[in-house]
Structure 1
Amino acid sequence: MKRTASRPPDRAGGVVELIGLHKAFGDRTVVDGIDLRIPGGEFFSLLGPSGCGKTTTLRMLAGFDDPTGGTILIDQQDMAGIPAHRRPTNTVFQSYALFPHLTVAENVAYGLRWHRRGGRDDSTGKVSSAERERRVREALDLVELAPYAAGRVQQLSGGQQQRVALARALVLRPSVLLLDEPLGALDARLRKNLREELLRLQRTVGTTFVFVTHDQEEALEMSDRIAVMDQGRVVQCGTPREVYESPQSEFVADFLGVANLLDGHLLERSRGSRGPSEVRIGDFTVPATCAADTAPGPVRVVVRPERIRLEPRGKKGVPVHTLPCVVDRLVYVGATTQVMARLPHGPALRVLVVNDSDRDLLTPGTPALVSCAPEAIRILSKDT
């Protein structure tokens, strides 16, 4: 989840605004009133499950689909009626759509043959041959594929082909680059490597990236901000840390990473109290964090597994607010072990334990204690 590159200053161009954006196919609403503003130079992700409307939103931005309502502005220009090839955008798809009969350089140069912005040397307004060659070299250098310029795309790996597709999109110098699950067809290790490459590339060129994915790890690792979508709506928008650590709904908490979701009862605060709120879970009361206007009563409690500490019973110096548990089940996942810790007369908590810790606790049937800081226990009102 930690970003590996610093964010550049906002660019003057590439500002995207969606105002009341709506799309319906017949009587089926796919995008239901989206309002978003994406500053220039931001890496922005649309994240959500299949069918949530994220790809349709991207297609309307690109000009492939027309909205049935609302407005799309790019650098304050209304995109209504402007076809895809005239918009200051370009799109990279999951399928690379490369031409096998052309060389790598010819694939990258393909769009420049009909480009009408900059480098003009004749009455048709096309980019000159010299300008085209220079920009192709720059694009291939950017994606570190210059040595393969004369080769055929079939000779490249899947990751290299995806970088050719990125170079072909970037060579047109779009204000906004749209990416529709571009890493979805690659294996896990290659996806990890290309995530780092994609982030480096975006930081280098400073172009606004709008990235569509259903992979929460991709979105958390690369994005400046994330819009989590469900049923055609944006249900939460914020930085990766905000949406992960402070989910505003049960859907966001459950979709974005792994979460323990528990039923609880928020206790009424005493007058003048300045400490954290308190929530009752089963027979136990623990401090928790919630919005100031959250009403006392039934609530849902959200706790991330990595924020829970597992301690042996009887250990000195453990936090005051602890819950007794019994280790129920273990799942070894390499660097960590997922521990299912069952509470008395209650649900099991998923706890993430780093594998350099005390392994005496990691035995099914072992009595233990669980605890976490009040700020790690988030309260959602029941109606969310």
Structure 2
Amino acid sequence: MTMKSSFDFTRLSWGIGIGAVVEHVLKIGRQGLDDAAQYIKTQLDMMKERAGSDFRIEIEDTTVNGTFNMMFLGYSISLGYKNHRNIIMRISSVGSQDNDPSVLVNGHFDSPLGSPGAGDCGSCVASMLEIARLTVDSGWVPSRPIIFLFNGAEELFMLGSHGFMTSHKWRDTIGAFINVEASGTRGLDLVCQSGPGSWPSLVYAQSALYPMANSAAQDVFPVIPGDTDYRIFANDYGKIPGLDVIFLLGGYFYHTSFDTVERLLPGSIQVRGDNLFSVIKAFTNSSKLQNALERESLGVAANESDNERAVFFDYLAWFLIFYTRKQAVVLHSIPVAIYLFMPFLLRLANDGLSCSIATFYDFIKGMLVHATGIILAALFPVICAILRLLVTGHSMNW
């Protein structure tokens, strides 16, 4: 049988991926999770059997237990858990060492109670399976190991990723990670969080085929009453550089019984797969990729320089504009200075000092008009939502 050497969404939508994963995850309770985990492991075992001699492939079916405390929405929450399953696959070359810096790709196969979880996060698991398949079947042997973590407990306070980061032998080898998530069923995959440091977003800017990212999203994300596994890897336990990639559109179906395969947009999954595979390859080739011991040996000074965030944004997913905060101070100050002083300079050149008061009045008037527009842009959608809620009596239009 001839294997395709590119990311193929048709295999995900109707073949080995989303349909089967969702079919298992749809089952409520422990049995449903076990079925999903077993399905994933079976697919990974099949890939290992047909892998070429240049590959070193390791698969682990682990059970995690633990306790921890976290702050969530301003509250201190203490959690204890046991017997949650993680399925892990490590793909490397035959000459790789156990402590080589690796790239982690994480996604969860559990779903909220009552939701089939096609978008969140069956689509993520299926994309990861297809990327693992593509890595094995295309003959591309990664220069650094790639770890695929299929974790079985994200919806309840990221238990699966916590278990991996506190107990697994590969945790200290991770030099960068990509967390694949969804709060909808379609759309380009937005990079909503990145760091620590700016190099993960720079790698994304240089390698993503259809980049969609905005540094402002990282400022907005803390306001959202939720969290992802990114928090565990980058903030609470690992301090690992990485990206949080997420579907946003179709949010009406998020965590509901309407999150089904039929509402997934195949083109969105294809774009996500193309982006992920390209970015993963770039991470494995990056000189910045370092394991925990290497990062620690750099010392505090290097860590402080890496903590500087960058400014970046895409243009219609065609390309991504990226520059540092220091460059931003200069680039953003110049137009502000022109905006503030040019009206006065133009008026003074023509009419003299007598018109400065009128110029100042026009300047304030213009600022008030723009401020009013910004306020109305925020209020108008809220007013429309309130009116619809009053008329229909339902928070969702379906």
TM-score, L = length of structure 2: 0.24
More helix by percentage: 2
> Which of the two has higher C-alpha Rg?
1
TM-score, L = length of structure 1: 0.25
More strand by percentage: 1
